[in-house]
Every structure is written in C-alpha cells, then in structure tokens.
Structure 1
Amino acid sequence: MKYILENEINIGMNVTDTFSVWEHNLHSELILANFDHKKDFVFIERSFLNTEDRLLLGVETSELSILKRENKKLKNLNRELDAIIDNSYDGIYITDRNGVTLKTNSAIERITNIPKEYYIGKNVNDLMKRGILKNSVTNKVLKYSRTVSVVQKNYSGNETLLTGSPVYDENGEIEKIVTNIRDLSNLNELEAELNKVNQLNDKYKKEIDRLKNKPDQLKGIITKSKQMKMIYDTTERIANIDATVLILGETGVGKDVLANYIFANSSRSKEGEFIKVNCGAIPPDLLESELFGYESGAFTGANRQGKPGMFELANKGILFLDEIGELTLSLQVKLLRVLQEGEIQRVGGVKPSKIDVRIIAATNNNLYKMVEKGEFRNDLYYRLNVIPIEIPPLRERREDIFPLIQLFLNKVNEKYQLSKELDYDLNQFFLSYDWYGNIRELSNLIERLAVTTRDDLINIDDLPSEYRQYNHTTVDSIGSLKEAVEMAEKKIITLAAGKYGNTYEIAQALGTSQPTIVRKLKKYEIDIKNK
C-alpha cells in the first residue's frame, strides 16, 4: 500500500491501465485511485495535481460529476426515507431475518415509553424474555411467510395492533420484516367518548320528547310506560296464536282497547269480526240466547227465523267476553264446552255446530278467589288462564297521564270545535290524583271540564266539587305543591322498589338513571325488597 501526501507528487509508477476514481473527505480533498493491474490504493492530494496529472491518472471530469450527482441523489433519498419513517404516527420496527432489530422510529418511544435506540441490535426473542415484548409478530411472519396481525398490550399496558410484513430478496427468501405498531388506546378512548356522546344524545332526545309531551305510539296506542310497552309487545307476539287470553285489571284501565289491539294485529282481522259482549250488562236469563243464539220457537217472543248468537257472529274472528266473572255457573259449563269441543248449540236446538272463534276474556274480579269460594268453575278458570295479561292501574304508571291528557283534550277540542288548555297546577293535580276509575275517569273528567268551563284556559278551580275537596285536603295536609309532587314521587318509587330487585331495574322501569334512583331511595328511606 503506497500513500503520496502533500509534496510527494512524483508517483513513480506506470498508470497506463484502466482504474476508477472517487472522492474521499480526509481534511483536504483526496482522490483514491484503484489500479486494476496492481491492486494498489493511492491517495493523492488533489491540490497538488495539475490538469496534466489528472489526465495522466485517467480521471474523466464528466464521469466524476455524474457519480457525484448520483451519490447526492442517493443521500437525499435516504434522508427523505429516514424522515418519513421517523415522522410516522405509527411505530415502525424493522428486523433482519434472524429477528435482530435494524431500525425503529420516534413513535415507538411514545407508544412504549422506551427510547428507540434501546431496541437497535437486540433480538426480538431477547426482548420477549425481558418482558419488553409479550408476543413477537416477527416470529409469526417468519413462521408463516406472510403478513400477520396481532392485538396485544405492550410494555406500558396500552393496547396495540401489530402488523408484520415480510420483505423478500431476489431469491424469494425473507430478508427483513417490517412491523407497523398502532396504539389503539386513543382509538378506544375516542370510541368510549363517542358512545358517551350517543348515550347523552339519546337522553336529550328523550327529554325533549318529554318536554314536548310527545307520547310514544304503538300502532295507535299511546303510552310512555315501560310496563305497557312490554304488555303491547307481548300481545303482538301472541296475536296469531289461537290460545285463550285472560285480561285482568281494574275497571277503566283499557282492557277492551288491549283486546281490540290483539284482534287488529292478528290474521283473524282479515277473515272475521271482533265481537264484544259485556257479560255483566245483560241479564243472565237473556245472556245465553245472546251468546249461543236460538232456534225458531225456542221461547215466547222468539224470532220466527231464529237468531244467531255472538259466537256465530264472531266465527273466524274474536269474541271478547268482558266481565267474565259475572257468568252464571250454568253458562260457565256451556262456555267450557265451546273451549273444549269448538262447538255451540243454540237455545232450543238439537244439533251442535262447529265454530272457529278465538276467546279473549276480561275481568276486574279475582277469579282465583272466586274459584276458592265456588263462584267460578276451576276447569273453566284454567281454560281461560292460558295467557294471562294484567294491566296495571293508571296510578302505577303515572308517566302515561300527561300523554293521555293531551290525547283526550285534542279529541274533545276537535269534537266540539274548542281550543281548551290546562294550566300547570291542574296538570300537576292530574299527576298526583290516584284515578280509581283509571283512564275512563280521566277521559270523562277532561271532557266534562272542556264543555262546562267558560274560559279556554282550564284551571284547578274549575274542578268539580268532589275533586276540589280532594285537592284541598291534599294541600292542607302536605303544605305545598312541591311536597305533593314529592309524595307522588315517593309512592311511585316505593311501588317500583317492591316490584324490582335492584336499582338498575328500577331506573330502567321509571325511565331515569341509576344514580338518581340511589339518591331518591336514600332521600325517602326506601328499601328494595329482594325477590
């Protein structure tokens, strides 16, 4: 190896053979000449070479410029590539085929809280042993020779998505593995925030609907009560099942409305009729002929052609037997035969006839107690009680009061061409009143107030005397409207606490939040009865 530096210009060798020349920075600009025939390397200080010396060495100025430009481009490309990798928001982790880390970027420090330099030169298996990595996607890529994605928690406890991709050489062998690391914690936080916003949005929508007094409607049925929504949901599901339905509930809760709803949602509404019979409104000696019909000459005053009964009129449809508890024992026997055999026999007739009728019965009596007393047949009770549905009274579903008020007031205004409204205090009275006549009583009172008051705005002083007396007694005993509302609230929550097993179910039933229920239970000193 020969070095010619500074003043040693005389190189003293034959330079006629071909060689290559490039620059090297070592204090001053030097030229390195590679002589093919001798394989000697010579460093020559460029400042001491004249033009002739340059030509003698075979250095072509144009070729050197091209090499310099290409070298500069390559450096720029490498610098740009490094900048792109380092500025990626996702972590980038590059290893060789043996799992040794070659390069990482700055994002990996943010994701793992470990300096990126720490990884360089370390094998992924060693990092796993130290607990830095819980699972190696690099090893999976090497094993399956394809892109692999895994989700795992990193050293910092953050959930990450790792996607490893192989880089192949010219022989099709894996040369490197490039892994992209995405921090999912931010995405999970954003998703959680989005869910909170959506829940809040739903809450606001419900509150706006409440403030607008906009009731929920189920195919013409108005209710905001979760209890009633569940009942009507059940009736939709059993509408086309020909089992007998027994509707229970106090007078005026809407048993006939529910029976009509079942009929409207059944296929029988396309073939037959909905026939209603109030068993308590027809004298017992006439009820048999009304239900089963009679033949010509069956009794004095009977129609010469005879008359079909309600069962025949309801053929292919539904017969609604309201106040079923008022049937005499003899009629109960005949009704049981209809349910068992699907046959009826007219009064005065000798031949039974087949009918296809679905029975819906309703009562405000306790049929089970009537069975114990011998007032109602045991076998008929169980025939009727196949699908029992109990409608709660209005005082147990007070959230339905305001929607019903608006419904009835709109109907009255339209019917009589009025423009009546109810003031705030009257609405609050309606909310706190117990309504022992239920929906029927509420409807009748609104119509009565609308047609008897002079002013368009109906206030609490316009109430009939029996209601004013109740209102004065309530006000005198509790002292203020606020306390009246609290009394009603306490009563509702007490009823819910006796029916549901925990605060979450109570909150869902009453359409409020669980923390609110916890606070109210503590305020009113109400205990939940564990079921």
Structure 2
Amino acid sequence: MEADKLPFPFFIASPDDCISYCNEFFRHSLSIAEIDHMYIRDVFESWVELRGGQLIHGSYQNKDCIFIKSRLPDSEEIVYIGTFSSELTSLIEELREAKRVNWELDATIENSYDGIYITNKEGITIKTNSAIERLTGIPKEYYIGKKVDALMKRGILKNSVTHQVLEKKRSVSLVQQNFLGKEVLLTGNPVFNEEGEIQSIVTNIRDLSELNDLQSALLEANQLNNSYKKEIERLKGRSYGAKDVVIRSKVMKRVYDTASRISNVDATVLILGETGTGKDVLARYIYDQSDRIRSGDLIKINCGAIPPDLLESELFGYEAGAFTGASTKGKAGMFEMADKGVLFLDEVGELPLQLQVKLLRTLQEQEVQRIGGTRPKKVNVRIIAATNRNLKEMVLNGDFREDLFYRLNVIPISIPPLSDRKDEILPLAEYYLELKNSQYRVHKKLSSGLKEFFYHYTWPGNIRELANLIERMVLITDEDNLLLSHLPAEYKNKNGEAIEVNEMMTLKQAAELAEEKVLQLAVKKYSTTYELAEALDTSQPTIVRKLKKYNLNFMNKE
C-alpha cells in the first residue's frame, strides 16, 4: 500500500479495536514485528481519548504518540494517523494541566462564601459566583456580560470599586449598603498582564451585617461564659481570685464561699479571728468580688494604731481651722474617701467609747460630718470591720457599745487559727518561700525536718508569724537548704533543738519544755513581769525567777 511510504505512524483497526493493518513507519517505531491482529490496548500501555474521542494520546515504552481518529469511507474500519512528536505531546499535557487548574479555580471561586465578581478592563462582567445571589438576590447569570455602569444605573451598585481600581491601579476597599440594605465590604484587586497593564479586576464582596451579628453574639456568649466560669469556680471553691490566699481546709473553703455569696450586698461584715489569721486578706477579697470595685476604693484604717485624739479626724475629716494645726484647706476623712466603695475598720475593738457613738450615728444615717463642720454629707459606704477581741465580752464589761456591736455584727465571719487549719500550713510555707525567693533572688528550699516542725508547731502568731519566720530564715541563712538547725533561738529549747515533743522524755522535762514555750509567748505579748504574773496566774517573783532560769527577757521581743 501507498501508506507504507508515509513518514508518520498509520494504522487501521476494526470497530472492536483489533489492528488489521499498519505501515512500516509505525511498525519500525514500536519495534514490534507481528503487530497485525493485535488489539490496540495490548500494544499501547496507555490509550487516552481527548476532545470527545477525536484525538488520542497513546504511550508505548516511554514513547508518546498523538493520533487523529477517522472512519474509512463506506467501511466500519477506523483509520489512525499520528505523530511521535514529543513537543506536541508536551502541549497536550500542558493543555490537560491547564484544564485541570482551570477547573480547580472555577470550583474555588464557586465555593467561596464571599461574593466574587470579575470584570475585564472595560468593566464588563466576565465571571461571578453563586454567593452573589445570597448578597443581592439576583441570579449570577444576570451579571455576565453586563457593564458596571449599567448595574449602577439599575441601582444594583451604589459605588463602583472597579472604576477606582482602574483609576488608582491598586487594591481599593470601600464599605457600602447595597439595595437590599445589607452592609458589605467591597475589595477590588487589579490583575496585570506581562506589559504591566490591568487585564481584569477581581472584587471580593463580604457581608458585614452577618459579621456584625456574629461578633455581637460572640461577645454576649463570652460574657455569659465568664459569668458561668466565675460561678462554677465560686461553687467549687477552688479559685478565689485573691492575692495571698492559699486554701486547702474545708473550713476555709466555707469561709470564702460565704464571702463570695455576700460580696455584692451592702450589709456590714464583722470578721473575727486571732492576730495574723488573714482578716485583712478576706476583707480585700470581699471588695475585689463586689461591684463596688468599679465605683469606689477600699480604704483601710487600723483603729488600734492611731492615737484616739487623731482617730476622729482620720475617720470623719475636718474643716479648715477646726483645731490648732489643722490644714487651712481642711481634710476629707476615711468615710468620704471610701464613698461608693468599702471602708475596712481593722481592730474595731480598739475604738474609744466616744468615737463609737459617732460611728454608730454615721452607720445609721449614712452621712458624715467633719470636725468643725455644720452640714452633714451623705456617703454610700459599705463597712467591713475586723477584730481579734471578744466584742460580746467587751459589751458585758461596758467597753463596747451594745448597739454598735449589733450594727456591725450583721454578717459575722470567723477565721479559725492556723493551728486548726493544718492542711494549709505547708502550702502556705511553700507559697511564702517562693515569694521571698523571688523577692530576694535566692533559691532556698525547705528540708523535710523543717516541714515536719512547721506542721506540728502551734503558730500562736498564725499566718503572719509563719510568713515572717520564713522571710527571716531566707535572709539570715547562707545555705540553700533550710534545716531545723537554722531556726531562730526562740524556736529552740536550751539544747539548741527545735521545740517539739515527738520523743520520750521525763514528765519534768516535758513540763519545763512547755513552761519555757509559754513564757516565750508571754514576753512577746506583755510588757512587764506584773502583767505576766497576772496573765499566767502566778506571783511576780516566780515570773522573775523563771525568766532568769530560761534566759528570757523583754529585750528579746521583736
């Protein structure tokens, strides 16, 4: 046949793809001697139809061939005429890849939640997506072929970001309301060709009204979530949000749970407890948990630390020239300073009787009058009082007014001594150690023996004594590991050992050990041997003799 002389592959196949004839060029190119009567897919490793089957891409042992398919006249047989050109095959692959990329791009645009609107440099719409129907209520097909100017005339667009991009040759954003009343953000971005000219403009359309609604809902949900978290933490009693608070015992969890529940009422609180138990910390916690933290300050005054003749002016203030030495401008008292906030009256049991009367009147009438003043001033102050004294006993003895006691004792909260909260001794010790390590830039640690001493010690000074002892040991001890031997002298017996009864000894030794410890505590609290004798129910000569025996004196007081 003449086809044998053709310089390109040529073969004929039956309708069932069985090869009935091929030319020498085809046979030589594939290096197959007996190719007649073989099926096409037995010859080619890959046989892919393109463009509806009119174009075929076949491959055989890394040889690629492109065939054109046509039917013989007056016959069922099919003719395949092709070329082994690698360049043409490469173009076919590029076309296939471009088709795939174009499909992915179309899918990305179509599935975007934001509206996407593409125009050419003349402002004619060439592509958009279905999201624009949600934003405008108009089918996306309507926009295709429409000019931006025509859409503006119809009122579909108010301002054209396309025109601004063409004018400024850069990205442009603007916010506007569309004809449906939705607030949208339009961002137009230019697409440049190789000559640096704008070829098209891609506009992204975002519905801001939905975002605004979502933001409002998120803010509301966060506020609700925060209130839930706060309430859950309050109920669990695990985190009280107060500085210097370490809570492990059930009794203290109840104390702070009560404080949480009454933090936002205006009733007066009376905190009872020994010195150093943390009454001021609890007062700060109640203030921090209350709404008054946003409207006023927490003002603290120690009623036992200020001389009685100055206490009145500190509490109630004075007018200019009210007394000798008074400021010419006058001075606001603690009540005025605590207006809309909280006034913490620490050691309220030390108030003189004459001031108790004025305090009672202020609490009853919610108004204060300065010394030398003629007009009272309304104040909105919540009172938190604290004392380590037995106010009921003071009332019976006539040292504290009964009416003032009941005015203060609306919500009494008792803080137990540290000796009744042993679960908190070691956590508090670790807390204050970490605090002082950070403050003084050291790395001290508590030995197991010292921890055991801390746990069994009675802590007459409560948390304040524990904190002061740890700070003292951190400062005066050279070694990083704090031991029993590093304890100050007053915490040791005459043999230099830490005071504790955890081994067998004679009753006389135990009695002397206890006697020495009691005297150590007494010389800290009282100033004369007569006061010690009265407090310990013994004679003054006996006290003098015992102090000499144990080498104790009032000069040892801190």
Tell me which of the two structures has the higher relative contact order, counting C-alpha pairs closer than 8 angstroms and 6 or more residues apart: 1
